Amino acid sequence: MQAPMPRSAQCAQQWRSRYRHITSSSRLRNISSKKQPSALAVPHFNIKHLVANQELYITSCNVRRLPHVADTIPLIAELYATANALRKDRTAVYTQRKNLQIKLRAAKDKIPILEQLGKLKDTGNVVDARIEDLDGKIREYMDQVPNLIPDNCPRDEERVVKYLCPPPSDPAEAKRCDDGFVQAVDHVDIGVQLGIIDLTTASNVSGHAFYYLLGDGAVLEQALVQYALEKARRRGFKMMIPPSIVRREFAHACGFRPRDTNGEQQIYNITVAGGEPDSCDEGRLCLTGTAEIPLAAWANDRSFDISECPVKMVGVSRSYRAEAGSRGRDTRGIYRVHEFTKVELFSWVAAPNEAAPEGTPTSDHMLEELRELQEDIISGLGLHARVLEMQGSDLGASAYRKYDIEAWMPGRQNWGEVTSASNCTDYQSRRLHTRVKVDAKTLAYAHTLNGTAMAVPRVIVAILENYYDHERKAVWIPKPLRKYFDDRAWIERQ
């Protein structure tokens, strides 16, 4: 039987155990307050391509009005060259160590060889530390570099591609002659008059840029969601309900930053009330501004077979935007709000590759498919709209090319964006490690694309303002939506 431990030794052991617990908890708190572990692996940036095509990246940065990022391109190339030179030095050190270790086995006097090995180990550690430091700086700079843009991308002004459902005259004065009503003035007045929008109560409950939809207003939202989902499913998009809360690193990997280029707050960050201070998620969660983020993140560290591509998903979720603009005509009502329902399209395709089978869809083809689906959705509602190819200065960090569709909104006396479609090439997949298996030997980063199927509040604005009948005091319901209204043709006073 083991002898009992003396009391003094027991006290000492208890104290050491308690001390280990305290230091461990303290260490966790320090980690939590400083830098938390990421759920994502380190991005695999294509640094070689940047070094070989510096002018292309500088042009992309300047067109996007990011001169401070453009200035870092030559610096990245310089740091990369220095790191590569150090890697050669490290290889030489390792080769010397290996040769000395071979000599050590047969040597009678091992002390001089051991001394040399010790010095080489110290040299190798110094070189490793310098390489690690340089790689960290390179990643930090590379993370700020936006995607490239095509040569034919409009530079300073969007290009009108086409018009949808053109009215018989000037859009500001157009009449819906077939249905006997004229265009309305403002969706807020219409919504309040019909009892389907309540901004006053929402302002008291939640603050500026929130809203209640009541009665047929709520039915209209659900009708638009189902209408968009039906259109997407018919074109081969698989439905998904994603989370609206993600870790911030996933939003960052998709190109969403906490603040926009004007310094305005974009993202709602979440602090868990009453949560454990040492929780791995404390302070690192955020609300998504679009289902694009969790849809893209679903394929984190995933590989698709090229036979599966294009992989097409449609997700419906609540979306949250911290920025809602300064108060004024542009932000009146529900056009620009903090919380809304959105149906999002997302697709993964194979990057251009010589090993890919002939006829494999490219991201350029997929972008046109997204645009055609969006045109079908908006045209089906009979809304007068224009399709735009957006200028480089309007592109987000992840977008290579982008289309917007803007509907005419009489209350604003202007066009309002209702859909957007972007080709992000491999910007997101290199950060999320999403690949396509082209053949037995080739695993390449996927190209990702995203597009709006339905931005609900803005389409509600367009419907109310374009389909209001002043004489009847009612809103005409577009025919594709009537089955969700028990086949009624009008939204009238609730």
Structure tokens at 194: 């019909």
Would the annotation count 419 as a binding residue? Answer: yes
Mean pLDDT by 10 residues, the chain (494 residues): 48 40 33 59 96 97 95 97 95 91 84 89 93 96 96 91 77 43 74 96 96 98 98 98 96 82 74 64 85 97 95 97 64 91 98 85 96 98 97 95 96 93 98 95 95 98 94 95 97 89
Question: Closest by alpha carbon to 418, among 448, 367, 457, 391?
Answer: 457
The pLDDT of residue 185 is 78
Does 420 count as an annotated binding residue? yes
- State how far the Cα of 407 lies from the Cα of 459, in Å rounded to an integer: 8
Helical spans, DSSP H, in 35-182: 47-52, 54-63, 67-70, 72-106, 111-142
To the question of whether residue 358 is assigned a binding role by annotation, the answer is no
Identify the pLDDT of residue 35: 57
What domains, with CATH codes, occur in the chain? 47-142 (1.10.287), 159-273+281-491 (3.30.930.10)
Residue partners of 23: CB distance under 8 A and separation at least 6: none
> Does the annotation place 62 within a ligand binding site?
no
The answer to whether the annotation marks 406 as part of a ligand binding site is: no
Q: Is 338 annotated as a binding residue?
A: yes
For the chain, the residue count is 494
pLDDT at position 167: 66
Q: Can you give the pLDDT at residue 104?
A: 84
Name the burial class of residue 112, with classes exposed (0-12), middle (13-18) and buried (19+) by CB atoms within 10 angstroms of its CB. exposed
Establish whether 418 is an annotated binding residue.
Answer: yes
Judge whether 340 is annotated as a binding position.
Answer: yes
pLDDT of 440 reads 86
Which of 370, 323, 320, 359 minimizes the C-alpha distance to 342?
A: 320
| SS3 sequence of 158-200 | CEEEEEECCCCCCHHHCEEHHHCEECCCCHHHHHHHHCCEEHH
Q: Is 433 marked within a binding site?
A: no
| CA-wise closest residue to 134 among 70, 89, 95 | 89
Q: What is the CA radius of gyration of the chain?
A: 29
| Residue 458 host element (H or E) | helix 456-466
What is this structure's pTM?
0.86
Establish whether 256 is an annotated binding residue.
no
Q: Has 452 been labeled as part of a binding site?
A: no
230 is in an annotated binding site: no
What are the backbone angles phi and psi of residue 183, rounded to the nearest 5°?
-70, 150
339 annotated binding-site participant:
yes
Helices vs strands, H then E, count in the chain: 14, 21
Is residue 485 marked as binding?
A: no
